[in-house]
Amino acid sequence: MANVSLNPDFLALPLELAAESALETAILLGSSWAEFRVSVNRSSFVQTHDTDIDSTLSGADTSLGVRVLVNGVWGFASDPSISPEGARRAARTAVALAKVAAPATTRKVELGTIGPAVIDTWIAPVEIDPFDVNPIEIGTLLLERANIVLGNGAEHVDSYFWALKDTRFYADTHGNRHTQQRIFSTSELSGTRPDRDGDPVSLRTLAQPVARGWEWMIGNHYGWEREIAELGGLLLQKSNSPLITPGNYDLIIDPTQLWLTIHESIGHATELDRVLGYEANYAGTTFVQVSDLNKLQYGTKLLNVTADRNAPYGLATVAFDDEGVPTHSFPLINEGQLVGLQADRGSAHLAGLETTGCAYAQSAEFVPIQRMPNISMQPSADGRSREEMIADVEDGLLVIGDESWSIDMQRKNFQFTGQQFWRIRNGELDGMVRNAAYQSTTPKFWGSLTEVGGPETYVFHGALNCGKGQPGQSAPVGHGAPAARFNQINVINTTEAEGAGA
Amino acid sequence: MRLTSAEAVETAIDHARTITGVIDIVAVSSHDSSASLRWANNTLTTNGYGWSNSLALVAYVAKEGRVATAKLYEVDQAFDAASVRALVERAVALAKESEPAKRFYTLPGDITFGDWEAAPFLTDLTLIGNVTPSLGEVLSQGARENRNHSGYAEHGRVSSWTGSLSGIRIREDNEDGRVEMTSRSNDGVRSAWEGVHSRTFIDLDIRSMGASLERQLAWQNNRRELSPGRYRTILPPGAVGDLLATFDSNLVGRRAVEGSGPFARPNGVTMIGERIAGERSYNLFSDPHFPGMEESPFVVNTHDGSASSVFDTGQPLPRVDWVHNGVLNALCTSRTVAVETGLAFTPNVGNLILDVPGGYGTLDDVIARTESGLLVNCLWYIRDLDEASMIVTGTTRDGVYEVRDGEVIGAVNNFRFNESPLSVLSRIHDAGTSVLCQTRENAEHVSDYLMPTLVIDEFNMSSISEAL
């Protein structure tokens, strides 16, 4: 099937003319560097509740943004008018803001060098554009699935489908001209029923957001049919399951949950802007230092983590980052040792490192900041299946699917829940337990990694809602994970607060 | 030719009037502007000024003897007449394909509010620029005194025009702003935070924020480790606001009737009418007329949800007493949900006020009358753990202090906490006067919260966070 082509409405915009107007104005007004962006972000959302389509919402957000460097001070402005006039207005405002900011800018900005300018277009491969699908058709499919779950034990079912199309143009005074387009899809279905005491118990599908189109919902890319067929029965089982007894357990963590722990405890902890204190007021800092490179033992020797922005179908995959830098892959952790950090041009220059192509802005209305690439824990080449790993566990838990998460501002103390916690006794699954959360610290947890599953356990997906920066920006980020075993991790009962100690 | 926001709304309504089958249309045009400064390591790092136009449409069409709707929004370059008409046609076409609503209501006519013709209310660089000289002084002082300042200042204004075929014309202007500042010792051992909420940005005192941070860091010169456990804990208004944001999000009638959430009883019964406070009572309410927190007194909904309906646009927005004298009094509903559940129609109001009768004084006053306890500056990364009990987890951040005999005697380590905001409000030991607060985690989502300092008995610090 042919791939989705570039949004024709986007190509009809006066991109080059507006870019020239912005960059010329910026240079005339004293900028030593200027960038120009246009973004069109389309969104389509359909939500159902029980047997009804609860809400449909479609929209588009179009904007341009100009970032200038004037006497070593950044200035940024956005404008809704994609025209030479709007571009010049934004450039003038950005320069004015750089001058307003100058009195409180005590350190001049310096940018690391970049390679030769490139003019290119990159379009993520997607088979069926979800924006060509009628919201009523989307709602009908969601309701078909909801009805199956309602008939299998759920008293109430909520579901949604959300699609995003991100088309953007970048130009700078270096001569770069990049046009890129990505499409994301995500869908969840959640069932609820009461337990024996009447308290609500919920369970949702395990599918995570993907960089694919409508084909993901109707094709063979994901096992929707099986998951929907099993959800009601699993919910019934969960609602009848006992509460977890707190204590230390050996955990087999499924990739549907482990991706989030990787995201929070490795992904955010190895962001160079956090290392340098640039997120201290909001997202926080990290326990990792630049001097830890090639020294810090992050986990056991079984831990290998790579970063990239070019893995096929990765949620953070693009050809060029939002500073015009070509993207690539790089190692973060080799055999448990920290060997890399994520960087954009500014943070890399401050730390004496090279940019890793990790600049990202949610849209042209935002300043690009350093954001997470796809970060993936590698499976063991000769690793075993999840079932084989379970067979070795005497007294433990199998954790499937993410739910709630919380981690401190230096990315150490964390606590995660999951969709399904299965008791493992003598190498076999022995029913579900519920209201469990595992709580640990980053070094202790990754230091407890004792087995990594094989390639057949590996799953690559991620999240669309990674938040960072002020004003807050949301970014899509991909994570690959295998099944993995962690020994003697503290597990708490979330409803017995007294039992929640470390 | 580019249209003004008011013209865009009128164009949409005029065009909808010409299309067969259209019963009504709601058009909401917004003009949004903001300016911001961000700093770290004692220097400004990024900044931004932006503005945008948006147009949201809800089309109501006759179908099978009932009414079907569709919702579209565009945040776009200059809307001209042709683009507005095209958007209306898309919305109407989509509505005609949609399933009719189970329940529908006619929108009210002849509702007017605000100055429809007035120009958009925009922020400008002057307001944010007024901050930079004093900010520069504070940053320079930080550098001289081995302290590292980070922070963020933002001011924004939104003007909106809501019109309908039936005759609604609501014009609303809002502004909002905040300054947040973190100060860390250069060795990374001490860290403090201060946040100020300001709608107008003309009443800011950056130097006094710097002084407050200095005081907090001085409190941290004396430090000891403390074990997890349950402690009498002082929560400043901002931290109370971050907990109450979770409470606020659970005030949903449909969920409670369906057996989900903390306010559900079995068999479709809710906890409305039950006492949820402990010995110390409290009131929790929202009021669009509350002085200093005013908002339009009419419902404007451009999407449907578990507690909102596009058929409610134009309905009066009353004061809502969610909790009155410690008794749960109301849960949020649309008119549709109200009919289906038997609950009263209770639309959502944007602000939230927590009042503890008998509470008085500032944070310092409350500290001065506390014999023994912890003072937690901020709560962070708050996430749900158990929906039935409203238990959440999170960590403390940028200052946990030991209070003895009315004075702060030093700092202790950070903690992870596992607590229920519902339960926390049943363990109020003491309270201050409610003030407009600046939340930390919810700073971008919550603005008009009036919260007191609270002293909570047996606040559950479940494990140690080594973060500094």
Instruction: With CB atoms and an 8 Å threshold, state whether B125 touches A78.
Output: no
Q: What is the tens place of the pLDDT at every residue in A213-253?
A: 999 999 899 999 999 999 999 999 999 999 999 999 999 99
- B249 — phi, psi (to 5°)? -70, -15
Instruction: Find the CB nearest A280 among B143, B150, B258.
Output: B150
d(CA B247, CA B270) in angstroms, rounded, equals 16
Residue of chain B with shortest Cα separation from A346? B45
Look at A97 and B35 and tell me if their CB atoms are within 8 Å: yes
Average pLDDT, stretch B156-182? Answer: 97
Does A78 sit within 8 Å of B50, measured CB to CB? Answer: yes
Q: What are phi and psi of B238, to 5 degrees?
A: -65, -40
For position A54, what pLDDT does the model report?
Answer: 86
What does the angle CA A322 – CA A323 – CA A325 come to, to the nearest 5 degrees?
100
On whether the CB atoms of residues A453 and A384 are closer than 8 A, the answer is yes
pLDDT of A501:
37
Q: How far is Cα A235 from Cα A153, in angstroms, rounded to an integer?
A: 7
Q: Given this model, what pLDDT does residue A497 score?
A: 53
The continuous run of DSSP H or E covering B15 comes out as helix B5-17
pLDDT band at B75 (very low <50, low <70, confident <90, very high): confident
| pLDDT tens track for A421-474 | 999 999 999 999 999 999 999 999 999 999 999 999 999 999 999 999 999 999
The pTM assigned to this predicted structure is 0.96
Give the closest residue to B254 by CA, choosing from B343, B194, B153, B374: B343
Per-residue pLDDT tens digits for A295-343:
999 999 999 999 999 999 999 999 999 999 999 999 999 999 999 999 9
A476 to chain B nearest CA, in Å?
19
Q: Is the peptide bond before B318 cis (omega within 30 degrees of 0)?
A: no
Per-residue pLDDT tens for A99-132?
999 988 988 998 878 889 999 999 999 999 999 9
Specify whether the CB–CB gap between A55 and B305 falls below 8 A. yes
Mean pLDDT (chain A) is: 95
* pLDDT confidence of residue B130: 87
Chain B residues whose CB is inside 8 A of the A282 CB are 152, 180
Find all residues with CB under 8 Å of B392, minimum gap 6, and list them.
B243, B246, B382, B383, B384, B385, B418, B419, B420, B421
Task: Determine whether the interchain pair A104/B75 forms a contact, defined as Cβ–Cβ distance below 8 Å.
Answer: no
Using one digit for the tens of pLDDT, what is the confidence trace for A2-34?
A: 689 998 889 999 999 999 999 999 999 999 999
CB atoms within 10 A of CB A468: 22
- Which chain B residue has the Cα nearest residue A61? B75
Going by C-alpha positions, the residue among A465, A471, A467 that lies closest to residue A367 is A471
Q: Which tens digits make up the pLDDT trace of B425-435?
A: 999 999 999 99
Q: Which residues of A fall within a CB distance of 8 Å from B98?
A: 53, 56, 135-136
Q: B155 near B175, Cβ under 8 Å?
A: yes
How far A42 CA sits from the closest chain B CA (Å)? Answer: 9
Residue B132: which of A103, A198, A439 has the nearest Cβ?
Answer: A103
pLDDT at A197: 87
> Which of B36, B75, B182 minimises the CB distance to A61?
B75
As a whole number of Å, the CA-based R_g of chain B is: 25
One-letter-per-residue 3-state SS of A210-279: ECCCCHHHHCCCCCHHHHHHHHHHHHHHHHCCCECCCEEEEEEECHHHHHHHHHHHHHHHHEHHHHCCCC
More confident position, B303 or A154: A154
Size of interface A-B (CB pairs under 8 A): 283
Q: What is the DSSP string of A124-141?
A: ---SS-GGGS-HHHHHHH
Name the residue facing A494 among B125, B391, B416 (closest C-beta): B391
CA gap B286, B332 in Å, rounded? 11
Q: Tell me if B462 and A52 make a contact (CB, 8 A cut-off).
A: no
